Amino acid sequence: MKSGPTASRVSRRSDTTAETNERVTPVLQRTNLEISNVETAMRSSRFGQWFSQHCRRIPWRDRMLALIVKVEGGQLYSTTLRAALLRWYDVEVGPYSYGSLLIPGNADRHTVIGAYVSIGPNVRRFGAAHPMSSLSLHPFWYNPALGVVPIGSDVPRTAISIGHDSWIGANVTILPGCRKIGVGAVIGAGSVVTKDVPDFTMVAGNPARTIGTRLTESERDALLDAKPWLLPPAEAARALISIRDKPRG
């Protein structure tokens, strides 16, 4: 048995964890009750459906889209925003995700964003870089969209999958070397992400490096098994409560 100051610190830490869990569970339970009285379904409008299908090249398109998103309840709920991003920008976004990567043009094509993803302001995701081996770095000489070089001259453009329930802080830059941000991962504000981020891993810095892992192993396994991010909010809240209330071995 440990004794002295070390044992005292371990005891205090255990007590603090228990107290935190006791506080968190009632909050989740209250949230579950509140969610049951709130409309959380994804939302669309007739004009929004028409707009996303027919208005790719009209003046003031982005302003009109912003207005429709507002009418449909914002980024969290707007199905028109998701349809427009997929149709016009090849950016796929799951339900209840929000943030600056949902602003048209902030994420390069071949971007897939999961459900319940939180993204801070001024985040950019780049799927391509200027060709270092080229005599000139100007896009005239590699981007066919500019009309100087033929189709097939473009630089490689990578895809990325941003996992469910992850959190990307403000002013993060995601470079082409990052192909996957895991479920429940956290990227600290101002980071430059150059490689993949595993599930539940916390990274920060330039370049971003691992600074920790979220939750206990049993909690991570329970979340991956229950997949609450695939459920609507009321059901997800119940799943989270059951995981938090599960006895620990």
Residue 188 near residue 205, CB atoms below 8 Å? yes
For residue 125, what pLDDT band results from cuts at 50, 70 and 90? Answer: very high
Per-residue pLDDT, 145: 84
Whole-angstrom distance, CA of residue 129 vs CA of residue 139: 10
Range picked from 122-136, 140-154, 184-198 for highest mean pLDDT:
184-198
Whole-angstrom distance, CA of residue 38 vs CA of residue 15: 35
The pTM of this model reads 0.78
Whole-angstrom distance, CA of residue 77 vs CA of residue 74: 6
Of the candidates 172, 81, 164, the residue with the CA atom closest to the CA atom of residue 121: 172
Q: Mean pLDDT over residues 174-179, rounded? A: 97
The yes-or-no verdict on residue 11 having pLDDT over 50 is no
**DSSP code of 128?**
-
Kindly report, residue by residue over 36-64, the tens digit of the pLDDT: 555 667 676 776 666 666 565 555 677 88
Per-residue pLDDT, 16: 46
| Residues labelled as active-site residues | 130
The yes-or-no verdict on residue 108 having pLDDT over 90 is yes
In the chain, what are the domains? 41-89 (no CATH), 107-209 (2.160.10.10), 215-249 (no CATH)
Kindly report, residue by residue over 57-81, the tens digit of the pLDDT: 555 677 888 998 999 999 999 999 9
